[in-house]
Amino acid sequence: MAHQHIDTASGGAIKAWIEGVCIEDKARAQLENIASLPIVHGWVAAMPDVHLGKGATVGSVIPTLGAVIPAAVGVDIGCGMIARRTSLTANDLPDSLRGLRTAIEAAVPHGRTGSGRRGDRGAWGTVPEPNYKVWDANLRERFVTICEKHPKVQKSNHVVHLGTLGTGNHFIEVCLDQDDRVWVMLHSGSRGVGNRIGSYFIELAKKDMGVHLHDLPDRDLAYLTEGTRHFDDYVEAVGWAQDFARTNRALMMQAVLRAMHEIFGEFSSEEEAVNCHHNYVSYEHHYGEDVYVTRKGAVSAKKGELGIIPGSMGTRSYIVRGKGAAESFHSCSHGAGRVMSRTAARKRFTVADHIRQTEGVECRKDRDVIDEIPAAYKDIDAVMAAQEDLVEVVHTLKQVVCVKG
């Protein structure tokens, strides 16, 4: 399905894959603000899950020349998905999946429950030794270097959050594909340390712009320019946080598979998991220029590249292969996208609504997860139809177990 051109009063260009899906006026205005920035290379690409975000529009792809907007990357740096197919089939699953859900909940600290510490029960009370080894081998030294330059970043949860899920729309799911094969899929990011890095550099960008901050259509669009100290430090820190997030997902995947082995005994899983960010910045070449591409709620979809587009609780999710569409800057949506805020969902829907809409899924069915009810999200079928020229579907997944943060 072809994209649409959205005209803006400022002259900034937007190309949007939104046919058949809604886009609220505030999100459209936010896109126009971003597109008006002088650092944007060509246009901003809007994915079909596009909706209003903090700092920048969720579901947007922002190519910039010689600059990065920290608030566009956001505070959950490197948030993304990982999925892995197992040799188990639907026939291997018990009639009641409650035991599988509670085993996963016990294996991975999540939300504000778990083994926990005072004030953050979604963190490790005692960090598992394998997690410490991964931290020391892959992450600690670079983190120390970042903190030497910016001591305020040190005051964050890092190793105690490594291998933990978080809150909000982060989740772990057990799914069945079109061939009744069992998959494990989860969604999380860089946790407390990513939040600290993101928040810290967002404020630095505002200070660095000084008097020029008033020339921006939104203060949260303050950017750091290439060649300055804070730009280089941010690129270093954001790259580290993206590595933390990818490692975080991999450790959780290992923990979930171990818990499943305790229940099902021996089974195999594919060595190569699909592990992709959807809140991040990447240095890429597009339309004759080397640019910093910020995907705010968007997934890289280079030709032949695998990605994950999850639906909401109770709907389908997709493993996709990118088509390498140039005008989207080789990108696709990161999910269904919200149609209402969490507050609005809690006011509008009841526990009974949630139970009905998540029928057949072993998950929490209480008041605290109403904001994640499927009706709070766009129709995933419409979202997928709007981006047929961006990706092809490789596997269609339907969750049978969902652990929400």
Place of tokens 């394998």: 130
The length of the chain in residues reads 405
3-state secondary structure of 47: strand
Going by C-beta distance under 8 Å and a sequence separation of 6 or more, which residues neighbour residue 1? 17, 19, 20, 385, 386, 387, 388, 389
Residue 334 is a catalytic residue: yes
Going by C-beta distance under 8 Å and a sequence separation of 6 or more, which residues neighbour residue 76? 189, 190, 194, 195, 198, 279
Give the per-residue pLDDT at 6.
82
Give the whole-angstrom CA distance, residue 25 versus residue 43.
19
- The answer to whether 171 and 208 are in contact (CB under 8 A) is no
Domain residue spans in the chain? 4-339+377-404
- The answer to whether 108 and 163 are in contact (CB under 8 A) is yes
User: C-alpha distances in angstroms, 23 versus 4, 30, 162?
Assistant: 12, 11, 35
Place of tokens 């999540």: 110
- The answer to whether 325 and 390 are in contact (CB under 8 A) is yes
Give the per-residue pLDDT at 119.
61
Give the whole-angstrom CA distance, residue 245 versus residue 157.
13
One of 51, 334, 354, 395 is an active-site residue; which one? 334
User: C-alpha distances in angstroms, 360 versus 36, 88, 240, 315, 399?
Assistant: 46, 19, 39, 11, 9
Give the whole-angstrom CA distance, residue 84 versus residue 106.
20
What sections of 138-184 are H helices per DSSP? 140-149
Q: Which residues share a beta bridge with 113? A: 110
Helix (H) or strand (E) holding 68: strand 67-68
pTM of this structure: 0.95
Give the whole-angstrom CA distance, residue 104 versus residue 260.
8
Give the per-residue pLDDT at 116.
45
- The answer to whether 75 and 198 are in contact (CB under 8 A) is yes
CATH superfamily of 4-339+377-404: tRNA-splicing ligase RtcB (3.90.1860.10)
Angle between helices 229-264 and 140-149 (to 10 degrees): 150
Give the per-residue pLDDT at 7.
75
In order along its 405 residues, the chain shows pLDDT tens digits of 578 888 777 778 999 999 999 899 999 999 999 999 999 999 999 999 999 998 899 999 999 999 999 999 999 999 999 999 999 999 999 999 999 999 999 999 998 644 444 567 789 999 999 999 999 999 999 999 999 999 999 989 999 999 999 998 899 999 999 999 999 999 999 999 999 999 999 999 999 998 889 899 999 999 999 998 899 999 999 999 999 999 999 999 999 999 999 999 999 998 767 899 999 999 999 999 999 999 999 999 999 999 999 998 888 999 999 999 999 999 999 999 988 888 999 999 999 999 999 999 998 899 888 999 999 999 999 999 999 999 999 999 999 999 987
- The answer to whether 55 and 202 are in contact (CB under 8 A) is yes
Backbone angles phi, psi at 77, to 5 degrees: -60, 130
User: C-alpha distances in angstroms, 38 versus 33, 55, 284?
Assistant: 11, 17, 19
Give the whole-angstrom CA distance, residue 267 versus residue 287.
46
Place of tokens 């051109």: 5
Give the whole-angstrom CA distance, residue 52 versus residue 12.
18
- The answer to whether 45 and 332 are in contact (CB under 8 A) is no
What sections of 171-284 are H helices per DSSP? 191-209, 229-264
